[in-house]
Homo-oligomer: A and B are copies of this chain.
């Protein structure tokens, strides 16, 4: 998902109106279209500036951050929080563990469960990435929206999906 299209639109071989005035039809009135394009644009911007050092994806950082905010949670809980099947989490956990950012620790209450915990290195990396993601999103957003508009947008999106953060108050 590199999406590094910073390249030029080289075709200058025609006269005046080069860019084909393609119409999006009804897509301009479909929220799903705008959501997808916006999500892609933000992810591409952040990935282009965060990835080089850490080779991390937004999804992988999301998992790391949720583990950091809920140390000791089980993989099933993480999957539920991320809105994916528990089988889809395994490889992500594998990657984070292979980088020594997290550990699967045994639970003594229930020997089926793995308690997901950050390593000291994981805590440091997570803290660094957290600032990186916040900072780079800010760069992207500040070029396009006012601070107030960003707040409005966040609030509307939060109401759109149900995955708000009831425990974020703590």
Contact = CB atoms under 8 A, between A and B. Distances in A.
Interface string A60-71: 001001101110
Report which residue of A34, A37, A58 has the largest number of chain B beta carbons within 10 angstroms of its beta carbon: A34
A20 B83 CA distance: 14
B141 A31 contact: yes
Given A37-B161, A109-B13, A144-B159, A70 B32 contact: no
Interface string A147-168: 0011011101111111111111
Interface in A1-47: 13, 20-43, 46
A94 interface: no
A81 interface: yes
Contact of A39 (B21, B35, B41, B66): B35
Contacts of A70: 22-23
A38 to B, nearest CB: 4
Interface of A: 13, 20-43, 46, 58, 62, 65-66, 68-70, 73, 77-78, 80-81, 83, 109, 130, 133-134, 137, 141, 144-145, 149-150, 152-154, 156-168, 170
Given A20-B73, A22-B66, A156-B156, 12 more contacts: A13-B109, A22-B69, A22-B167, A23-B66, A24-B81, A25-B69, A29-B154, A30-B134, A36-B39, A38-B157, A40-B161, A41-B162
